[in-house]
Structure 1
Amino acid sequence: MTIQGPAGPKRRRWPARLAVVLVLAFVAWLAVCWAVLEHPRTEEPAVSDALLVLGPPDIQRMATAQELMERGIAPVLVIATPDAQPGDSPAMVQYYEDKDFCAPRTDYEVICFKPNPSTTQGEAIELRDLAAERGWDTVTAVTFKQHVPRARMILKRCYGGELRMAATDYGFTPLGALGQYVYQSAGFVKAWLTPGCEQQLPGNPKELE
């Protein structure tokens, strides 16, 4: 006759331990996201060779860029114009299609481009090419707060000059902020898997010119 030990209680403890580990991991991830994404390093606006607006060039992001341009931060405004996203409202889709912000101006030059690929990496590649062509040594980039750390990392992989980051704050709700934490975390994973300026994941090739 085989006598079995009290295995049942031990088995029942594993789900509880696993739950504790998962909760602690989730809390740690939230803490890191809060520290990195909600309090990114930005620089005071200073005169640059160009001001780059990372896409999409929504109304708030463009308002920040226009304010900086009116302060004379740069002689050139560069705007990334990716396609509208499936979740955008009809009014926003029309706004992106009209591209009124790309209209020529008399007080400064405006350059609009469609990134290839349609990601921050595509914007970084275009920045590299424009900077090499025009001899830009200092560039200020505008994006939203939670995107600043990842955007800085990706832009610096392609652009070797001085890079300054300016941020606009969308004031996300807690649920919206959590969505950004997930999205930006996934973006960091992708960026770490593609460490070069133009390196792409197999399923997301750069479009042919």
Structure 2
Amino acid sequence: MTTATRRALAFTAGGFLLWLIIAVQLFVNTDPLSVHRTDAVIMLGGAASERLPAAQRIQQELGIPVLVLSRTDTFGNRAADAVCGSAAFPNPALVCFRPPDLDTRGEAQAISRLVALNGWKSVTVVTSSYHVTRAGRLISQCTTADVQLVASHPDFNPGQWLRRFVIETGGLIDASLRPECVDQPAGM
């Protein structure tokens, strides 16, 4: 093996290790130092068996008056969709919404509209730890409300974490290069 090849391999390994360390900080170690009461707690769609209990716990512990659930009618969102499907509406303690697009950008747009319609000044958004950084960036781009993110924690093996690191790194780059809600005033 030539010196140039060894240097290239060392540089590649070092770059990978650096990215891995940053990914762990951005996508695993995402718990806030403190959590405060807000006007509503919002659970983003997907991984509802993990996210819904966390959202309900935060709502109960902090006495947050409104639980907001993203309704997607997808396999991973069955638990939240079941809550929405069995509730009687209108219900001042529960809001179910279907985002215009079934992705985080669509949810950010819908949350912006809900914040404006309800006059909320602050919201707590619950999503999986790997998704907190990107979701927070997108939602904060769409509203002037104080957005507090709370992580639920998936039970992933190392391969699943690595896959999420790759997906979320790409998504975070995309959210940075293509900001959401730039064509509309925040809260609209």
Q: Same fold (TM over 0.5)?
A: yes
CA contact (8 A) 2:42 2:69 kept: yes
Query: What is the aligned partner in structure 1 of residue 186 from structure 2?
Result: none
TM-score for the superposition, normalised by structure 1: 0.76
Residues in 2 aligned to 1:124 and 1:142: alpha-carbon distance in whole angstroms: 13
Tell me which moved more, 58-67 or 181-190. 58-67
Aligned length: 181
Query: What is the aligned partner in structure 2 of residue 178 from structure 1?
Result: 162
**Is there any run of 5+ residues in structure 1 with no aligned partner, and where?**
1-8, 200-209
Shift of 1:128: 0.7
Shift of 1:171: 2.8
- Aligned partner letter, 1:104: A
Query: CA offsets per residue over residues 32-66 of structure 1, 9 Å max, x none?
Result: 11222221252533321111001115112111122
Query: What is the aligned partner in structure 2 of residue 193 from structure 1?
Result: 177
Residues in 2 aligned to 1:138 and 1:73: alpha-carbon distance in whole angstroms: 14
For the pair 1:117 / 2:117, whether they are aligned, the reply is no
**Is there any run of 5+ residues in structure 2 with no aligned partner, and where?**
184-188
Shift of 1:184: 0.7
Q: Which runs of 4+ in 1 moved over 6 A?
A: none
Rg comparison, structure with higher value: 1
For the pair 1:37 / 2:12, whether they are aligned, the reply is no
**Backbone CA RMSD of aligned residues:** 2.5
CA contact (8 A) 1:54 1:143 kept: yes
CA contact (8 A) 1:43 1:165 kept: no
Shift of 1:166: 1.2
Q: 1:101 aligns with which of 83, 99, 102?
A: 83
TM-score for the superposition, normalised by structure 2: 0.84
Tell me which moved more, 12-21 or 158-167. 12-21
Residues in 2 aligned to 1:197 and 1:129: alpha-carbon distance in whole angstroms: 11
Residues in 2 aligned to 1:32 and 1:39: alpha-carbon distance in whole angstroms: 10
- Aligned partner letter, 1:130: L
Shift of 1:71: 3.1
Show the 5 A alignment for 1:84-163: 84=74, 95=78, 99-102=81-84, 103-104=86-87, 109-163=93-147
Tell me the secondary structure at the aligned position of residue 128 of structure 1: helix
Query: What is the aligned partner in structure 1 of residue 42 from structure 2?
Result: 52
For the pair 1:80 / 2:70, whether they are aligned, the reply is yes
Identity of aligned residues (%): 26
Question: Relative to structure 1, is the Cα distance of residues 143 and 167 closer, same or farther in structure 2, using a 3 angstrom cutoff?
Answer: same
